[in-house]
Amino acid sequence: MSRATDRAYAGIRNMILSGELPAGSQLGEEALAERCGVSRTPVRDALRRLEGELLVKRNEAQRSFVAAWSLADVEDAFELRAMLEGHAARRAAERIDDVTLEALRACNNAIGRAVRADPPDVAGFLEGNREFHAVILETAQSRRLASLLGSLIEQPVVWRTAHHYGREALRRSHSEHDELLAAFARRDGAWAQAIMASHIHRAFHAYADAHHGLSAIDGPRSA
Amino acid sequence: MSRATDRAYAGIRNMILSGELPAGSQLGEEALAERCGVSRTPVRDALRRLEGELLVKRNEAQRSFVAAWSLADVEDAFELRAMLEGHAARRAAERIDDVTLEALRACNNAIGRAVRADPPDVAGFLEGNREFHAVILETAQSRRLASLLGSLIEQPVVWRTAHHYGREALRRSHSEHDELLAAFARRDGAWAQAIMASHIHRAFHAYADAHHGLSAIDGPRSA
DNA sequence: CTGCAGTCTATTGTATACAAACGGTCAAGG
DNA sequence: CCTTGACCGTTTGTATACAATAGACTGCAG
């Protein structure tokens, strides 16, 4: 996208994630435009995009609000992600070539280095993790699947989870990726799918554990 | 949505489906605005929506074109639909109450009447079918799932398939719905999921059979 | 003849002004 | 005091004008 639209999108997104705009608060186009330093037009584009990602919801009168995420919503998102990314992993395993496989190995090695650093390099882990999953999604060669997953993997609640991971959880994630690589090397789609689904489900429980009882740390959550 | 945006959306969509705008042709915002009798603003909204549904694709320079659908693309869409609607059916089976179940039965009875009419009432079948699947999706109680499926079930290639169905295929579809109702009555999620997946896969093959060898009937298709 | 560079045009991005619609409030009547 | 209606303010929808950009074309030089 272009500069102003990106600025509006990133700005609004950050305001929501940081809790500056709490769940349920109204998002007036004009107010947002002023805060982002752009006009209403790019703000409208950004709101539509965020609405597609379910970060923003609109009432019947077309007014926009910050969406509230219950624990059930989060579980829902993870469940769908497990299903779709599992499917992506299966397709990837059936289609991957040796060059891509090697690239994935390199990527996971980088993740390994980030995990072993002292203190663990969470930003590096997140970037490597994002890249790893992105390559798999691309290898799955399904534009539709990519489009569907796009609105799920960018979810704040998902990637923020890693900030609550201990070193042990990070290490486990890294080793699950290794197992995934083994499945890819054997071109075993069913295996890859099972590992990926398990990988995502574990991530959900890491999230649930980290947030169970904690409150007001993570902004948009209603229950 | 509001009047102008709806007009632009419906108009562009119809132009694409009718083949008036063939696959690959460029969609200039200004030209579309003039043809729909609205300004560029609602056209832009409509294009973004159609892009989300993958009916329109944009190149790197942000220009919009009518998306080309290969048979592989269609199969891809059906495969994802089978997975997601299967999931929806399972959730619905685990959550459905007697009132909703009865509503679904009534809906499928209406489908049955449309199928038995002479000649078969394809429009009635489509409407009943849409309603049937919509109720299941709603009963699944997953906003995210509904949002993901939204971009798949509205696909032209999907619903147009029924126009090529013979009476026998329509009847089979109706009886698969009956079996689904049985699974719902038993609250058997796994069974419901399996039937639904099978139901969608069969629909894909009906499509593939009807279009194998035929050409230029169905507008946007590249292969 | 080919390659590069500059310009030129077509198209989209952005801003802003105006129109329409929804919600809330205040007042009047029962 | 409650209910109902109309009015006004706030917010979004739509149109249009202007800015920026990508791609094509042309002309010049090697």
| Cβ atoms of B173 and B126 closer than 8 Å | no
pLDDT for residue B155? 63
Indicate if the pLDDT at residue B66 is higher than 90. yes
Q: Is nucleic acid strand C under 7 Å from A42's C-beta?
A: yes
Tell me which of A198-202, B18-22, B102-106, B190-194 is least confident.
Answer: B18-22
Strands (E), A34-182: 56-58, 64-66
Sequence-separated contacts (24+) of B39-48 with Cβ below 8 Å: B39/B4, B41/B4, B42/B2, B42/B4, B42/B5, B42/B7, B42/B8, B43/B8, B43/B12, B45/A48, B45/B1, B45/B5, B45/B8, B45/B9, B46/B5, B46/B8, B46/B9, B46/B11, B46/B12, B47/B12, B48/A45, B48/A48
Tell me which of A85-89, A145-149, A169-173, A212-216 is least confident.
Answer: A212-216
User: What is the Cα A188 distance to its own chain's centre?
Assistant: 25
Find chain B residues with C-beta within 8 A of A62's C-beta.
2
The radius of gyration computed from the CA coordinates of chain B, to the nearest angstrom, equals 19
DSSP state of A21: S
pLDDT band, residue A212 (cuts 50/70/90): low
Amino acid at A46: A
Backbone angles phi, psi at A214, to 5 degrees: -70, 150
The whole-angstrom separation of Cα A145 and Cα A14 is 26
Residue with tokens 């639909």: B81
User: Helix B167-185 to helix B189-211 angle, to the nearest 10 degrees?
Assistant: 170
pLDDT for residue A138? 96
In this structure, the protein residues whose CB atom falls closer than 7 angstroms to any atom of nucleic acid strand D are A 2-3, 26-30, 40-41, 44, 62-64; B 1-5, 38-42, 45, 59-61
pLDDT for residue B217? 39
The verdict on A151 touching B (C-beta cutoff 8 Å) is: yes
Indicate if the pLDDT at residue A219 is higher than 70. no
| Cβ atoms of B20 and B223 closer than 8 Å | no
The shortest CB-CB distance from B144 to any of A62, A76, A145 is to A76
The arithmetic mean of pLDDT across residues A123-149, rounded, is 93
Mutate to test the interface with A, among B55, B74, B83, B147 (most CBs of A within 10 A): B147
Cross-chain Cβ contact A145/B80 below 8 Å: yes
Q: Give residue-wise pLDDT tens across range B7-46.
A: 999 999 999 988 899 999 999 999 999 999 999 999 999 9
Strands (E), A163-205: none
| Cβ atoms of A43 and B111 closer than 8 Å | no
User: In the A/B pair of chains, how many CB contacts fall below 8 A?
Assistant: 50
The radius of gyration computed from the CA coordinates of chain A, to the nearest angstrom, equals 19
The arithmetic mean of pLDDT across residues A155-177, rounded, is 80
pLDDT band, residue A214 (cuts 50/70/90): very low
Indicate if the pLDDT at residue B218 is higher than 70. no
Token pair in block for residue B38 = 């609205």
The arithmetic mean of pLDDT across residues A175-196, rounded, is 98
User: What domains appear along chain A, each with residue ranges and CATH number?
Assistant: 3-66 (1.10.10.10), 71-211 (1.20.120.530)
pLDDT for residue A42? 96
The verdict on A25 touching B (C-beta cutoff 8 Å) is: no
Tell me which of A84-88, A133-137, B128-132, B205-209 is least confident.
Answer: B205-209
Q: How many residues does chain A have?
A: 223
pLDDT: is A161 or B93 the higher one? B93
| Cβ atoms of A94 and A155 closer than 8 Å | no
Residue A58 neighbours by CB under 8 Å, 6+ apart: A51, A64, A65
The arithmetic mean of pLDDT across residues A17-36, rounded, is 92
Q: Give residue-wise pLDDT tens across range A193-204.
A: 999 999 999 988
pLDDT for residue B212? 61
Beta bridge partners of B85: none
pLDDT: is A97 or B168 the higher one? A97
Mutate to test the interface with A, among B29, B76, B154 (most CBs of A within 10 A): B76
pLDDT: is A90 or A23 the higher one? A90
Distances A21 to A65, A91, A152 between C-alpha atoms, Å: 9, 39, 21
pLDDT for residue A1? 67
pLDDT band, residue B186 (cuts 50/70/90): very high
Tell me which of A153-167, A184-198, B74-88, B194-208 is least confident.
Answer: A153-167
Percent of chain B at pLDDT > 70 equals: 90
Helix H or strand E segment including B64: strand B64-66
Tell me which of A135-139, A212-216, B70-74, B216-220 is least confident.
Answer: B216-220
Indicate if the pLDDT at residue A158 is higher than 70. no
pLDDT for residue A169? 87
pLDDT for residue A207? 84
The whole-angstrom separation of Cα A26 and Cα A13 is 14
Q: Give residue-wise pLDDT tens across range A41-77.
A: 999 999 999 998 889 999 988 999 999 888 888 899 9
